Amino acid sequence: MQQQMLDTAVTLGQIQQQLSTVANNIANVDTTGYKSRSANFSDLLVQSLNNITPGDDKLDQANRLTPNGIRLGSGAKVGDTQLDTSAGALQQTGNPLDLALTNDQQYFTVSLNGATAYTRAGNFNTEPAGGNRLRLLTKSGQAVLGANGQPMTLPAGYSDVQISSAGDVTAVMPSGARVNAGRLGIVQINRPQLLKSQGDSLFTLPNLGSLGIGLNQVVQPANAANGSVAQGKLEGSNVDLTDEMTNLINLERNYQMNARSISMSDQMSGLVNGLLH
């Protein structure tokens, strides 16, 4: 009975983790470029307990169809969390610096603490960079990188920005002159499940060398011929609120059931102790 209570307590802890995953999805239902996660449960070690006395002719029968023992699990745990990389709905904004990617596997590249990070959130803005230039930034302040790996900049005082589907950026000056500002650094990630969330809809990759994987196997420059940049639009979160609320209700019921199981086991243990004393 004590073992059963311990196993149930382990499962309760794992349900709490899944509740946190669902709650995080619900909290980001309106976050631009957010990708939802789902937690999957797996059984812990199952052990077989021998409940038949060896040599007992009445029970140890050759034609027995059931196993000679009791199989008990050790609870459940969250096996892994899967990233849902499907595209969210596009929202029209009309802002020329709002960009969305229509290809599910493509990401903008940005600088995060000196390393390269990836995002689907294209709600960009600018700040002065010196030298009559403006630096292109994400909403949370990371520099947006170009195809050459350098921060993207725009000439100050532009009147309009035009961005092609391939990510080519052109600034239109008040005089009508057109200034080529370079191409956005857009990549295709072939193994998105390796992405690690860093918050603010930003992702990084782990040390691929330790996994025996080459960077070019995971990250490749997006093919300009298959450009997917949509200007004046943003990609919404791909969270399905109806599904998440259903998951939340089911998890709450599972939690209550397991908590009730511990309470009943505790009551039975108290009753047995009372009888023995």
Predicted local distance difference test score (pLDDT) of residue 49:
46
d(C-alpha 4, C-alpha 88), whole Å: 43
* CA distance readout (Å), 3 to 52, 58, 68, 252, 254: 20, 29, 20, 23, 19
Mean predicted confidence (pLDDT) in 224-236: 91
Which residues on neighbouring strands pair with residue 267, listed in sequence order?
none
d(C-alpha 190, C-alpha 217), whole Å: 7
Predicted local distance difference test score (pLDDT) of residue 47:
45
Both structure tokens of 268: 């039975």
d(C-alpha 246, C-alpha 122), whole Å: 30
Mean predicted confidence (pLDDT) in 203-226: 89
Identity of the amino acid at 270: G
Mean predicted confidence (pLDDT) in 14-21: 83
pLDDT reading at 253 higher than 60: yes
- CA angle 84/87/88 to nearest 5° reads 100
Q: Are 20 and 38 in contact (CB under 8 A)?
A: no
Pick the closest to residue 87 from 100, 69, 70 (CA basis).
Answer: 100
Predicted local distance difference test score (pLDDT) of residue 53:
52
Render pLDDT for 117-175 as a digit per residue (tens, 0 to 9): 999 999 999 999 988 999 999 999 999 999 999 999 999 999 999 999 999 999 999 99
Instruction: Output the average pLDDT for the chain.
Output: 83
Render pLDDT for 51-102 as a digit per residue (tens, 0 to 9): 455 555 454 555 555 555 555 555 555 556 788 989 999 999 999 999 999 9
d(C-alpha 32, C-alpha 138), whole Å: 11
Q: Are 105 and 118 in contact (CB under 8 A)?
A: no
